[in-house]
């Protein structure tokens, strides 16, 4: 029987790094291990880490989705325009925004899987396109005055100190872990990532599979946009700008190959924890945001170099 | 900080609109030049045209690239299919001619 929880060499390495980061942080600042700070640590970039979970599927499938940041912006702006300007009831607006996310992901998926264009180009153009529509909706205004319950969902704890965003992250992680590691859908995702031709000959409807994954990506990005609107309480046209690169950084650090076909959700989860606790720890030590970004960049570089160096030292080739 | 922001997309848009294939292997400098002029012409007219607000610039540019790239892909597929059909049509004639 297969063990339920397996750790590859890369995940073990990440676990060690995570333990070191946590130990150093706890030693350097007494505030770090308090529950309030631990919730805050997730809460400050909750939108990014939720989208990173689905981005794992996209990249394992040997595609990329650069449009997630713009989709977050589009969904947040559409929500603001519908609720803040047109006075539509918020639940209806939320549902419509999620539909926009599904539709946006469907457009990406159809152009990638049916028309057969590289996903880099398709999502690059929808990255401009969706951002453009978001700007058309709000022009250069900033819109707030959402209902109180909506803002409370983004800011206050729903179950104890856990916010809706954090709860959805945990729930989504568990669901996607089962789907990726235990279900047929996940196995097909890996196969298509290794070789789409092989998957086609094996009778997998690869186009349908890819469209579904892009739709999931759009849906979750739209949901993250709503979480952002609820957490921050005001929306501008540039919500989520540049988030896609942070998200892709976390996924790649988690050991997912950019060429598709390999990587695990456990690794991505560990990488998310490392990036967040590193940033949070540095913030507690009054390190500026620019240096924080630099350190995360170096970490990503190291994540590419370490496995290659290790392989060269032990005389093996990189798998 | 903002210098060159978004230029990567504009340059790709110019090349693709100018007929450079996204999969590589075909295209010309003259085409890319005409593409660049076209992209800037569209952006400039959106600023000047009062009927459409200038906020449409980005949206129009994004969907324009998507349309150009997919038109290219679909056209290439059609051409390929045409070529295969012509080769199939030509093959029996060639067989008859050989003996």
* CATH number of residue A73's parent domain: 1.10.3470
Range of the domain at A115: 52-303
Q: For position B94, what pLDDT does the model report?
A: 54
A94 lies in some domain:
yes
Is A198 touching B (CB cutoff 8 A)? Answer: no
- Which of A12-16, A67-71, A144-148, A236-240 has the highest average model confidence (pLDDT)? A67-71
Lowest pLDDT segment from A212-216, A245-249, B71-75 = B71-75
**Does B63 contact chain A (CB < 8 Å)?**
yes
| Chain A nearest C-alpha distance from B73 (Å) | 7
Please report the number of interchain residue pairs, chain A to chain B, with beta-carbon separation below 8 angstroms: 71
d(CA A241, CA B75): 34
**How large is the ipTM?**
0.71
Residue A80 burial (CB count, 10 A):
28
Model pLDDT for residues A38-48, shown as the tens digit of each residue: 998 999 899 99
Taking a C-beta distance cutoff of 8 angstroms, is the pair A210, A63 a contact?
A: yes
In a domain, A23, yes or no: no
Q: Could you count the other beta carbons within 10 Å of the beta carbon of residue A253? A: 25
- pLDDT digit string, tens, across residues B14-55: 888 888 877 778 888 999 999 899 888 888 877 787 777 777
Query: According to the model, what pLDDT value does residue B1 have?
Result: 44
Instruction: Give mean pLDDT, residues A280-285.
Output: 90
Number of structural domains found in chain A: 1
Instruction: List A159's β-bridge partners, or say none.
Output: A162
**DSSP notation for B4-67:** TTTHHHHHHHHHHHTT--TTSS---HHHHHHHHHHHHHHHHHHHH-SSS-TTHHHHHHHHHHHH
Give the pLDDT of residue A9: 80
What's the whole-number average pLDDT of chain A?
89
CB A132 to CB B6 under 8 A? Answer: no
Closest residue on chain A to B7 (Cα): A128
- Can you give the pLDDT at residue A101? 97
CB contact, 8 Å: B53 with chain A?
Answer: yes
Chain B residues whose CB is inside 8 A of the A140 CB are 55
Q: Which of residues 139-158 of A touch B (CB under 8 A)?
A: 139-140
Whether A125 sits inside 8 A of B74 (CB atoms) is: no
Beta strands in chain A (DSSP E): 157-159, 162-163
A118 touches B: beta carbon within 8 Å? yes
DSSP state of A159: E
With beta carbons less than 8 A apart as the criterion, state whether A47 and A263 touch.
no
Q: A131 and chain B: CB distance < 8 Å anywhere?
A: yes
Instruction: Determine, yes or no, domain membership for A30.
Output: no
Residue A313 inside a domain? The answer is: no
HSE-CB of A136 using CA atoms within 13 angstroms: 15
A204 inside domain: yes
Backbone angles phi, psi at A157, to 5 degrees: -70, 140
Note whether A65 and A121 are within 8 A (CB): no
Tokens of A254: 């988690």
pLDDT for A251 equals: 93
Mean pLDDT of A56-84: 94
Q: How far apart, in whole angstroms, are the C-alpha atoms of residue B33 and residue A212?
A: 38
Phi-psi region of A63 (alpha: psi -120 to 50; beta: other; left: phi over 0): beta
């Amino acid at each position: 029987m297969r063990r339920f929880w397996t750790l590859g060499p890369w995940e073990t390495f990440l676990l060690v790094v995570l333990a070191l980061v946590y130990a150093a942080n706890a030693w350097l600042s007494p505030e770090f291990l308090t529950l309030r700070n631990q919730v805050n640590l997730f809460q400050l970039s909750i939108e990014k880490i939720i989208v990173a979970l689905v981005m794992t599927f996209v990249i394992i499938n040997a595609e990329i989705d650069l449009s997630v940041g713009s989709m977050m912006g589009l969904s947040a702006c559409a929500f603001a325009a519908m609720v803040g300007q047109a006075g539509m009831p918020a639940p209806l607006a939320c549902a419509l925004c999620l539909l926009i996310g599904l539709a946006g992901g469907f457009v990406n998926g159809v152009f990638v899987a049916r028309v057969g264009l590289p996903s880099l180009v398709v999502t690059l153009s929808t990255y401009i396109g969706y951002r453009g529509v978001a700007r058309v909706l709000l022009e250069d205004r900033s819109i707030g005055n959402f209902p109180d319950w909506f803002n409370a969902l983004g800011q206050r704890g729903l179950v104890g100190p856990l916010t809706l965003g954090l709860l959805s992250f945990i729930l989504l992680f568990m669901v996607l872990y089962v789907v990726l590691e235990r279900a047929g859908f996940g196995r097909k995702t890996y196969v298509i990532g290794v070789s789409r031709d092989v998957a086609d000959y094996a009778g997998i409807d690869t186009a349908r599979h890819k469209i579904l994954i892009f739709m999931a990506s759009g849906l979750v990005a739209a949901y993250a946009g709503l979480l952002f609107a609820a957490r921050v309480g005001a929306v501008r046209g540039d919500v989520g700008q540049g988030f896609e690169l942070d998200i892709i950084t976390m996924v790649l650090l988690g050991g997912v190959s950019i060429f598709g076909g390999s990587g695990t959700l456990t690794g991505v989860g560990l990488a998310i924890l490392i990036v967040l606790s590193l940033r949070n720890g540095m913030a507690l030590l009054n390190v500026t945001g620019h240096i924080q970004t630099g350190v995360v960049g170096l970490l990503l570089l190291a994540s590419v170099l370490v496995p290659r160096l290790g392989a060269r030292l032990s005389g093996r080739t990189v798998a | 900080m903002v210098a060159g922001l978004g230029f990567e997309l504009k340059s790709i848009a110019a090349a693709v609109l100018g007929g450079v294939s996204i999969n590589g292997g075909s295209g010309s400098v003259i085409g890319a030049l005409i593409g660049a002029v076209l992209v800037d012409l569209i952006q400039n007219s959106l600023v000047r045209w009062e009927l459409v607000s200038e906020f449409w610039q980005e949206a129009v540019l994004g969907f324009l690239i998507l349309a150009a790239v997919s038109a290219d892909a679909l056209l290439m597929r059609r051409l390929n299919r045409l070529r295969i059909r012509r080769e199939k049509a030509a093959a029996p004639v060639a067989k008859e001619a050989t003996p």
